[in-house]
Amino acid sequence: MMIVVAIVATIVLSRTTFGRYVYATGGNAEAARLGGVRINTIRIATFALSGAAAALAGSIDASRVLSAQASAGQFLTFTVLTGIIVGGTSIAGGEGSVQRTVIGCLFVALVANGFNLLGLDPFYQQVTLGVILLLAVGTDAWSRRLA
């Protein structure tokens, strides 16, 4: 399922007008607006797609554990954001790709799986992910300052 969603997202973002508008709005909303992009429409559409993706993820998680709770995925937010930022998506906006995001999330999952296999306390896993996140954000800020 992840591979199908990643392929569809890659095609939409790289080969459609909507994808170009998403990157333009994320990179510089004012320039995109001056270029004729209806940025409010693009923002609403991306939030709607994000909500649909969250609903799909929630449905998959609920079917996996055979129960549903409003707070079921709260602990995943930090891990997911770490994977996205490690994958190269800039927190400043306008930069990123689906392929790199998938690779970043796989890296974070590999780290988490390694900690689980070693039987280490989950606290140390969160600390390690925090350090990785700080390094990724610092590297992004440093590269933006050099550019």
Q: Which of 14, 37, 70 is the last residue of a domain?
A: 70
Could you report the average pLDDT of every consecutive run of 10 residues in the chain (147 residues)? 92 95 92 96 97 91 86 85 92 85 96 95 93 93 85
Q: Specify whether 82 is located in the same domain as 144.
A: yes
| Predicted local distance difference test score (pLDDT) of residue 115 | 95
DSSP 62-101: HHHHT---TTTTTTHHHHHHHHHHHTT--TTSS---HHHH
User: What is the distance between the alpha carbons of residues 135 and 139, in angstroms, rounded to a whole number?
Assistant: 6
Provide the domain count of the chain. Answer: 2
CA 105 to chain centre: 8
Q: Which domain holds residue 100?
A: 75-147
